[in-house]
Amino acid sequence: AIFISIYTIWFLGKEIVEVKNFELPKASTLKKKKKVGVLISGSGTNLQALIDYTQNPNNCSSAEIVLVLSNVLSHKNFKKRVDFDMAVHAILKENGVEIVCLAGFMRIVSKEFVQLWQGNLLNVHPAILPAFKGMDAHKQVLEKGAKITGCTVHFVEAEVDAGAVIQQAAVRVDPEDDVKFCRKR
């Protein structure tokens, strides 16, 4: 909890603010947490980082992961990409999901899915955007001789990796790095 001491400030004979002692609740208790659904395809490395962050009380996270979909619903059972996406959409809605996070999800979602989740659909991309878009981002980084790489969280738009950037983190690329090490870092 945060304690604030407030007192009266006078400036040129006028009272500007009166301050009293009170305790502020953590940000996470001030409003209802947003329910997040996470779509993954891989080993869950990004997912674990998201879980760790949202469950750490020191982060005051305003998000709660309520659903994870990972290869449970096979796209091969659907004739069209949009049919698969609508099945995923239905599961997300049934579970009260408000925000969808693509965290290592190795499928491009349909424009219809993007429209349904517009403004509430995020992607964790394994490189700095807009420099290294699409698949094989780590390979692109090394081929270009980039000195830094990193991770980008961005809003998803119909065009791949073109949405507004929310957050980026950078790490150095060493001359001896390979794709595997770049991915790990």
Instruction: Encode pLDDT of 153-162 as tens digits.
Output: 999 999 999 9
Judge whether residue 6 has pLDDT over 60: no
The identity of residue 178, as a single letter, is D
Tell me the whole-structure pTM to 2 decimals: 0.76
Reported as a single tens digit per residue, the pLDDT across 102-112 is 998 888 999 99
Reported as a single tens digit per residue, the pLDDT across 71-96 is 656 667 788 889 989 999 999 999 99
Give the catalytic positions in this structure: 125
Judge whether residue 99 has pLDDT over 90: yes
Q: In this structure, is the dihedral angle defined by the CA atoms of residues 150, 156, 162 and 164, taken in order, positive or negative?
A: negative
Q: What is the pLDDT of residue 184?
A: 76
Q: What is the mean pLDDT of residues 3-16?
A: 49
Q: What is the pLDDT of residue 77?
A: 76
